[in-house]
């Protein structure tokens, strides 16, 4: 190993613990974490720039409805226990209601506490599954699925945004079901109702997600569109004084 001290303070940094009493050497938990971390780094574990630095203390989160933010705050406070129990969150609501912002807050907290996270928009994930399947490297496909199944938190943004093939939906089900059976947490955001989502990605997959996630209903107006309106109001263009009425 690297010669760094054991992050858990349990071994001498070698990743091995000698059990003199039983005359055996076993792996320290820090080694398991290290291996999981290496595998996860090959996945998409980066909070997109737009959502980097989101915080409960700053807008836009301070302007979001309190009941929803409180659910997320409680989740983050109990993060370790929730992740270990495989409990996730399901943000549901119209576009621009803050789903992705709150979900990124959770992923950022998980990454900050040393957990492994894979962040994907569902269309991108499905495309990647499809690509590795066509890949010539032996094992590329099972490697990806193993890694996605192995992270502490799988964050899928915009679930149901794309209609796809039955084969790909079958792979998605296998992935969600593997995490269900391992009690590994999933975080999803979606614009769709449960019924429409079932139509889009399959009732079995939706039913698994329902069992694993607490629903956070997001409501209100589309803030992304309101931001555009705000900018227009702050910087009226002298050439078109009636812009705000447009």
Tell me which residues touch Zn ion (CB under 5 A): 6, 10-11, 28, 30
Tokens of 197: 């989502």
Q: Of all residues in this chain, which one has the CB nearest to Mg ion in the complex?
A: 100
Nearer to Mg ion, 194 or 204 (CB): 194
Q: Which does 74 bind (CB under 5 to 8 A by kind): Mg ion, ligand ADP, Zn ion, none?
A: none
Which tokens belong to 73?
């705050």
| Whole-number Å distance between alpha carbons of 217 and 172 | 24
CB closer to Mg ion, 100 vs 171: 100
Beta bridge partners of 213: 88
Q: How far is CA 223 from CA 102, 103, 141, in A?
A: 14, 16, 38
Which of Mg ion, ligand ADP, Zn ion, none does residue 63 bind (CB under 5 to 8 Å by kind)? ligand ADP
Pair 36, 96: CB distance under 8 Å: no
Nearer of residues 113 and 229 to ligand ADP, judged by Cβ: 229
Smallest distance from the beta carbon of 97 to Mg ion, in angstroms? 9
Q: Taking CB under 5 A as the criterion, which residues in 64-103 touch Mg ion?
A: 99-100
Helix, strand, or coil (residue 17): strand
Identity of the residue, 100 or 184, whose beta carbon is nearer to Mg ion in the bound complex: 100
Cβ-contact 45, 119 below 8 angstroms: yes
Two tokens, residue 243 = 């812009």
Residues engaged in binding ligand ADP (CB under 6 A): 60, 63-64, 95-101, 189, 220, 223-224, 227
Site residues, Mg ion (CB under 5 A): 99-100
């Amino acid at each position: 190993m690297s010669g760094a001290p054991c992050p858990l303070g349990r071994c001498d940094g070698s990743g091995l613990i000698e059990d003199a009493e039983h005359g055996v050497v076993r792996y320290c938990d820090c080694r398991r974490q290290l291996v999981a971390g290496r595998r996860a780094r090959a996945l998409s574990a980066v909070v997109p720039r737009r959502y980097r630095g989101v915080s409960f203390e700053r807008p836009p989160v301070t302007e979001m409805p309190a009941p929803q933010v409180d659910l997320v705050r409680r989740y983050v406070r109990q993060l370790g226990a929730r992740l270990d129990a495989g409990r996730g969150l399901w943000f549901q609501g119209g576009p621009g209601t803050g789903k992705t912002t709150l979900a990124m807050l959770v992923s950022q907290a998980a990454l900050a506490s040393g957990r492994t996270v894979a962040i994907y928009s569902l269309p991108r994930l499905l495309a990647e599954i499809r690509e590795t399947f066509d890949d010539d490297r032996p094992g590329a496909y099972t490697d990806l699925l193993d890694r996605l199944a192995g992270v502490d938190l799988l964050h899928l943004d915009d679930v149901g945004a794309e209609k796809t093939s039955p084969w790909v939906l079958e792979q998605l089900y296998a992935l969600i079901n593997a995490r269900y059976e391992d009690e590994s947490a999933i975080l999803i955001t979606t614009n769709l109702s449960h019924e429409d989502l079932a139509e889009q990605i399959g009732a079995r997959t939706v039913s698994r997600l329902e069992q694993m996630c607490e629903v956070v209903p997001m409501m209100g107006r589309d803030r992304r569109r309101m931001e555009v309106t705000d900018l227009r109001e702050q910087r009226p263009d002298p050439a078109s004084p009636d812009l705000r009425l447009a």
